[in-house]
Structure 1
């Protein structure tokens, strides 16, 4: 999973990135201090893996990972070259979803590029730049397809879809606001890698005092939640400065600090949970003496497709999947005990993998 972090300058993007990845992105109180995109890879915390490693005496534990890409703060006119320009937008085209950091706090010591805090205006400033960038791509694609459609009438359907997208963007709406039912159409739209078609997770950056009630008493956060709900996006509340502080603590100190703040989980944990939900992802597990490992797949993936995450040969030569739920394995303490109680199932090609399944794939190439 690859997530791009965007937002206006000085909203807490680089501070949040540093806390999530223990990275070294420069975080300073002036625009454009992050000039090149910073990339950090973060393991997904999963206590089930720790338990499997213990049960199987695994030599190695490999969690699922998330890749974060932090780019320079965008400003009004970025798509036309303002600020550091359009080149940063190309970095976001590679990601699965966008984390849009929104400033939801007042602080006279932290400069705002527009002079005052207004989360909805800030969100719409970024959206307009993404829309302009997408329109540029669509216009080029439409011009090319119009010419090709003269010789190949089957391209008319593509042209119709492109025009629907263009009209939507020209009306100031993001491409993700259109719901396409036809799988071929969905695949075609995905192939365009439009910025405004990517799912968005809004990170409402607040001060420490707003963490305990998850921003419920913060009017800025309320407005972001209403905006996100209207477009079917997710919101999570975070204090980037606090996240940066706790990122340097060990696990016990971290839990103690969070308890003092009245918070059960860190911002990173909440971000990962919200990202999985937003993208419809789950994790299945494999375990053995050599390695216990988590694999991230789309919810609804069938057994052969899940096997293909490990290696294409597993999918191509799939025979069956031997499946036991993590909960049963954890409760009984061993694979053999689960097997004795009939809790290890043999599943075929139509089996839909569930979150927490511990699977041994049988295949033959």
Structure 2
């Protein structure tokens, strides 16, 4: 599970780390992670000299991270160019980049180079972005590596401006931020890589947690056996689905597809006649229940028994049902009624 923190929490921990290790040390560590991600994205190029890496550089520490990353890439043989998007820049990082024979131009002077860039490193604002700030327009198809946060994205709320720089990958520092997983963020961040930089969050309670691929696999391994694949369909559970209506046919289709994707052994469905052809196309694995079967199955469900031929072990009832449209209302009422002879 990946812990997710608010911007204020990350800022507080970052301040503690700076006081212990110094801002220059942290900045160079972040830049190394950024440079490594850039190299991974440029792996298809035969040699570094074939790839031009352009950095969009802002005024603060985010711009410093980008300059130090360009410095590392330049020393490894990559063609690099730093485009200053503001009048000022991080002085120490500019000196380091100059010592590696790096080229610095204003955005206006070097904007034409963006069209020939193999990769653009977006190091303009990071978590310090404020809505409405002017951002450069990139040529269509530009591959972008975002430094900490894509410029144009509010890292607190996840809201993005219309001209946000769309990233193919984002390397975020310290910890995952709430604004990287909410609202517009999943559409603009691309693949997110968390570079923890050994930040100490031990005294901080995360805002939430994000299930990563490894965690999901662990959960599946914990609750599912390797024998599942060889089990008979009735051993893997039979789901009865009552859903959809003439008004909301898509609800039945989406629910059926979700059930099949979850690995249910068999899906038995009861939908309005006009929805059945659509459902058969969306999820051909489903087996319909006719009126007699659904009546029997619902009645016996109250007694925890299986209907003949149905063998339904769980029910999903309700998605997209229009209460004004039979037969669903009558069947749902039947399910709520106590079985004959009960108290």
More helix by percentage: 1
Q: Is TM more than 0.5 here?
A: no
TM-score, L = length of structure 2? 0.29
TM-score, L = length of structure 1? 0.27
Q: Which has the higher contact order (CA 8 A, sep 6+)?
A: 1
